[in-house]
Structure 1
Amino acid sequence: MNPGRAIARLGLDPERLSFGLRTALASCLALAVAWGLGLEHPQWSAMTVWAASQPVRGMLIEKSAFRALGTLIGTLVGVALLATVGDHTAWLVLGLALWVGLCAGTGNLLHGLRSYGALLAGYSASMVALLGQTAPLGFLSLGIDRFTTVMVGVLVALLIGLLFGGRNREDDPSGRTRRLMILVLQRLARRLDGQPAPATAELTVLLSEAAAIEATLDAHGAGSAKGRHSARSLRAILATQIEALLWLERPDVLPDDGRAIATALDEAATALDDADGAIDALLVALTRAETRAASAPSLAMCLRRIAEAHRQRARFHDTGTTQSETLRRQVIRHRDWVHGRQAFLRTGGVMLIVGGTWALSGWAPGAYVLLGTSVMVTLFSTFDNPAWLMRRILAWQTVGAVASLVCHWALWPLATTEWHQLAMLMPFILLAVLPFAHRRTMTGSVDYVMVLLLLSQPGLPRSVDIAGSLTTAIAVVMGPLLAVIAFTLIFPTDARRRQRRLKAMMIRELQAMAARPESAPRPAIWRARLHHRIMTLMQWSHRLGDPAQAATRGSLAVYDLGRTVLTLQALGEKDTLSARERLAIRATLRRLDGLRHAPEAVADALTRLADFLARRGRSAAPVVERTAAHLRDQAAFFRHTRD
């Protein structure tokens, strides 16, 4: 029988089993190396291996770098805070609440492993500051020990990962992006050749593929500057694909010479399909299509951006770099500012409550409660459903705490040297491998070994009694328990809420554009951000199991309404318009203030404006009427949103 199949029949993932075993052995190695170097907390090195290890090398390198940077910044802040406040616990709690809250908020605004580095800088400061008050060698020595042990763990994880880890998957997003662009160009060509617009189902498939590719780009770009340039250039191409698909479904003006443009786009698709990557032929065909599309400015601009994105991709292939400023104008990634603010307030508030209770009660293990809480409410605030995840982590941390008590009081009394203690601890680390690889127990299982190691400070003679060990274990496990309460009661968050908030941000930006055009984002910025938000919305829909076509139709309605707002604003600035027409346009745009509460009323206002403009012979009337119909059809998308 195939060993892989036999393992799978037991419910184990063969790849995770191999990765978990490699990580557990590397963790034991880091524990031994840190102890051999005479570090005060060798178990922190073992914990770092579990935190930094990745199954593929690119992610391993980048995560290790951000772990080192985040730890360094957090350590410096923790040491500086202790040096400033001394023994004043209340000021220490206040300083930590502000810093860790700021890091949590920042981490929820950043993408990829930059987010991880920001979160780590927060709770690393907590670890140094809270344990430093009672450190026998002083907080400065603890800070040095913290950073050194983390670096030992990072280096061991890097060494083992580079020797035995896998490479980034061969099915990289480059080929998928190229194949999708071929389909987009071909579909544009058919539309311009007189065929009807694609059905919603077909458009959804194309948008979903773009969103799926975009979701892989952070991992694709990890590990090197060249990888980041590659991801940046691919993200720009994906953004132009979204722009082309939006135009394809909602063309404002069809060009006069559609057949000639279609021929040029077919040639561009053929050039892109060339195995040798005939970039020159692609750019020539796109330039010819853009020139022919002069009578349809939005299509011409879309084709120009497609050409520029592929020009940057070609530059990457030639030099390994891109022109960052050029791509930055084409790609503006969505940032959930509401979620970031809530993460800051939740994290800072919980730390003030827990820390204030500790300061008032004087209960010594309260420092461990605050430490565990700071890690949980910070690190897991970026997850889709942190309250649910905290329950799994709480269970596994309880198991880890029990395992540490068994190790300490059943085995360690038999040890005659610290090396014996480490040897007795290692089998408990290896026990994490099976639950880590099993599909039913993998979620949260790493926290078993994290708590086990956090509570396992080797040393002889032993100065803690069993009651003290039990109290500390309970204090640590209270961290995820308090985090469950925090994520459930204080700005509760989950995938559904974040999806709704994304919709709300898309709609609120339309309202800002309509109400205050002078302070709203420029049209190019709005479009670039909308492209990424549409991909993000598709990703949320797939995670939640929602019908993807609903996200497609809602996104099209948002795009259509935004374009109409810009059209009306441009029309309102024309000198040929009468005062009554300007007043009607301004009044209708002001009605968008009720878009999320009464979208049908906004649609009715647009219909009345379209009738009025039609009587005045204005060419914008059909556009406004179509937008009203789309808005009326997608009223549920606009109404079912909230911040």
Structure 2
Amino acid sequence: MSALHDAYGRLLQASARWGFDPVRLRQHLRTAFAACLALLAAWQLGLEHPQWAAMATWAASQPLRGQLVEKSFFRVAGTVAGTAVGVGLVLLAQGNLLWLVLGLAVWLGLCAGVGNLQRSFVAYGTMLAGYSAAMVALLDFAHPEQVFALGWDRLFTALTGVFAALLVGWLFTPKGSGIPGNAEVRQLFARLLRDLADSLQARGRSSLGSQEIAARLLAMAVIEEGLDPHAAGSQRSREAVHALRRLMNAQISALLWLRDAPSQEPPAAFGDAQALAAAQALREAAVALETRVQLHEAAAALVRAREAAVAWPGAADMLAPMGFALQAHLAATHDVALPPGHRARQWPVVLHSDWLGARRAMLRASAAIAIVGLLWVASGWSGGAYMLLGMSIMLTVFSGFENPSATMRHVTLGQAMGVLVALACQWLVWPFAGSQAGLVWLMLPFVFVGALLFSHQRTMLSGYDCNMVLLLLLQPHYPQTASFGHALALGLAVVSGPLAGWAAYRFILPVTLQGRLQGLRSMMVHELQDMAATPGHARDGRIWRARLYHRLLRLVRMS
């Protein structure tokens, strides 16, 4: 067994010569195996669409256990909510396609809007609730009497797929080793402490230029952008990410203080002795962080620095959140609960919510679904349901992307590949099957073809969509009665979904990077105006400031 495992590892490493990413290939082959288990289990359970279980496995699988558990939970929650709404829409419409389309337009708009205000897997669950309703409502809209059977089928295939993803993932997926960015943020913090020490000794003067400040903000912005997935799966992970963000907020505040310090004359009471003591304590804290030997000494040194700088209220007020944030960060890193009354809690972490983008996403999704749906009602095109289903996914899942219209190119390519692979299976392989069991077993190699496409450097951006579409189209009903022309038309209808999504992002409240930047700047200006016009409680100011800092990082990252 060990020899087989070693040979498999060598094969994965050798795959790099052929253009594959070995890490991705290992993960995606594992997911393909889980998808095959889900497909076989759903078929054995007698579910009508067993391929949906394999789709759920691909959707739920993640590289780390915590992410796998949390995404699986929201996969199930979103499917339950979406299925219930889809069944309700079909029952209310009672075969009236116009009312069904309008109901879907409203529901998908709500899911797109709310999902854009949420983050990570919570947003995913909300978006999933939108297009799950579309899947239930559209795929058998002409038979409302069968909608409960379709709804249960959708729910149980999703549960089967998620269970397979959890089973295989829990056995073979690593737990994860801490929060990425911890070491980098501490190094930035140590550099900042040395800059502050120099500035205090120079009575506020600083050699830190605007370009260096911008470079450090960008470094923090890059780290912050990747934190959300690592908060998944446990309260410990969430608290660690929360504490890391608080530490970055304290650094932003200190960087801004350094920028403005030369214009602030320190009080006469802040003499050379106090400046030297504060600077020495800050340098000791920096050394403790850099050597990583006794990290708690860094927090203690920051307390001494603040006490030495108490004669300069501006400097002491700047150092206070740095010390408390570092204490909270070290506690979270070592899995120590932060006391309820700890002063770090006085500096909240508030994340940016894109209200402008959410409103535009809601209006865009509702308008696009309504327009295309009405055209479908008027034309009676048989492929309209699949086109509208594809659009519902495009207008929800990708609505929060910085440039979704550009993403649609990769999605369209992936779905086109999925159609071709599905046609190859249907017309080159399935004719040799003599039963439904034969159809199911002959599907399995094509699931692994999708894994290979998902892992190759040239096709990895389109591989996921290829997998989902080939499974959507491969329904193992025996005997197969559809003609090649019908299968081809169905495939073209599926590919038209991302094309229609591209048109919606391009022409209905267009989404551009410049537009997102302008919206972010506008929200920051309003935030500053609100802070100036409402000199309220200190905590309100800290909330506004924390949200402003997060928006600043987003702005730096997007610029």
Instruction: Tell me the TM-score normalised to structure 2 length.
Output: 0.89
| Contact 1:48–1:150, Cα closer than 8 Å, also in 2 | yes
Q: What is the match of residue 304 of structure 1?
A: 320
Distance 1:324 1:153 in 2: 44
Distance 2:27 2:417 in 1: 22
Distance 1:166 1:222 in 2: 14
| Contact 1:351–1:374, Cα closer than 8 Å, also in 2 | yes
Q: 1:513 to 1:226 in 2, by over 3 A?
A: closer
Q: What is the match of residue 285 of structure 2?
A: 268
Q: What is the match of residue 507 of structure 1?
A: 525
Give 1:303's aligned amino acid.
L
Aligned residue among 445, 448, 451 for 2:466:
448
Q: What is the match of residue 209 of structure 2?
A: 199
Pairwise mapping of residues 226-305 of structure 1 onto structure 2 (< 5 A)?
Answer: 226-251=236-261, 253-255=264-266, 256=270, 257-273=274-290, 275=292, 277-279=294-296, 281-305=297-321
Q: Does 2:506 match 1:488?
A: yes
Question: What is the Cα deviation at residue 382 of structure 1?
Answer: 1.9
Give 1:236's aligned amino acid.
R
Distance 1:427 1:321 in 2: 51
| Contact 1:236–1:327, Cα closer than 8 Å, also in 2 | no
| Contact 2:39–2:51, Cα closer than 8 Å, also in 1 | yes
Q: What is the match of residue 434 of structure 1?
A: 452
Question: What is the Cα deviation at residue 536 of structure 1?
Answer: 1.6
Q: What is the match of residue 186 of structure 1?
A: 194
Distance 1:68 1:389 in 2: 26
Q: Which has the higher contact order (CA 8 A, sep 6+)?
A: 2
* Equivalent residue pairs, number: 539
Q: What is the match of residue 340 of structure 1?
A: 358
Question: What is the Cα deviation at residue 458 of structure 1?
Answer: 1.2
Identity %: 42
| Contact 1:107–1:115, Cα closer than 8 Å, also in 2 | yes
Question: What is the Cα deviation at residue 437 of structure 1?
Answer: 1.8
Q: Which runs of 5+ in 1 are unaligned?
A: 542-643
Q: Does 2:92 match 1:81?
A: no
Pairwise mapping of residues 71-470 of structure 1 onto structure 2 (< 5 A)?
Answer: 71-134=79-142, 138-169=146-177, 172-194=180-202, 196-251=206-261, 253-255=264-266, 256=270, 257-273=274-290, 275=292, 277-279=294-296, 281-316=297-332, 317-320=334-337, 327=345, 329-470=347-488
Deviations 1:130-152 (A, max 9, x none): 22424697112211211111111
| Contact 2:90–2:144, Cα closer than 8 Å, also in 1 | no
Q: 1:11 to 1:410 in 2, by over 3 A?
A: closer
Question: What is the Cα deviation at residue 69 of structure 1?
Answer: 1.5
Give 2:284's aligned amino acid.
E
Q: 1:223 to 1:254 in 2, by over 3 A?
A: farther
| Contact 2:108–2:131, Cα closer than 8 Å, also in 1 | yes
Distance 1:3 1:41 in 2: 34
Pairwise mapping of residues 591-602 of structure 1 onto structure 2 (< 5 A)?
Answer: none
Q: Secondary structure at the match of 1:382?
A: coil
Q: What is the match of residue 531 of structure 1?
A: 549
Distance 2:41 2:11 in 1: 33
Q: Which runs of 5+ in 2 are unaligned?
A: 1-9
Q: What is the match of residue 7 of structure 2?
A: none
Question: What is the Cα deviation at residue 342 of structure 1?
Answer: 1.0
Give 2:90's aligned amino acid.
L
Question: What is the Cα deviation at residue 10 of structure 1?
Answer: 2.5
Distance 1:536 1:169 in 2: 26
| Contact 1:101–1:345, Cα closer than 8 Å, also in 2 | yes
| Contact 2:527–2:548, Cα closer than 8 Å, also in 1 | no
Distance 1:485 1:246 in 2: 42
Q: 1:324 to 1:111 in 2, by over 3 A?
A: farther
Question: What is the Cα deviation at residue 79 of structure 1?
Answer: 1.9
Distance 2:388 2:301 in 1: 62
